Amino acid sequence: MTQERMILLVVGVVVLGSVLLAVFHDLRWLWLTGLMGVHLIQASFTGMCPVVALLRRSGLPSRAGFA
């Protein structure tokens, strides 16, 4: 697995998890979904993402784009 695919996996788990928690527990969990969306927009402009920094240290290989 590459860093790029792991990022997609982490984001997908966080979004799906927060939506499921909102449906089955409390609607306030949707704030997490909204914050993840805001972070994705911010990261697309600045290139700064804490998950990427962690994955770089983990030793996963990186590929350009979705090759």
Q: Which pLDDT band, with edges at 50, 70 and 90, does 64 fall under?
A: confident
Calpha distance 58→23 (Å, rounded)? 33
Banded pLDDT at 56 (limits 50, 70, 90): confident
Of 23, 24, 14, nearest to 51 by C-alpha is 14
Q: Convert the pLDDT of each residue in 7-40 to its tens digit.
A: 889 999 999 999 999 999 999 999 999 999 999 9
The whole-number pLDDT of residue 65 equals 65
The answer to whether residues 62 and 4 touch, using CB atoms and an 8 Å cutoff, is yes
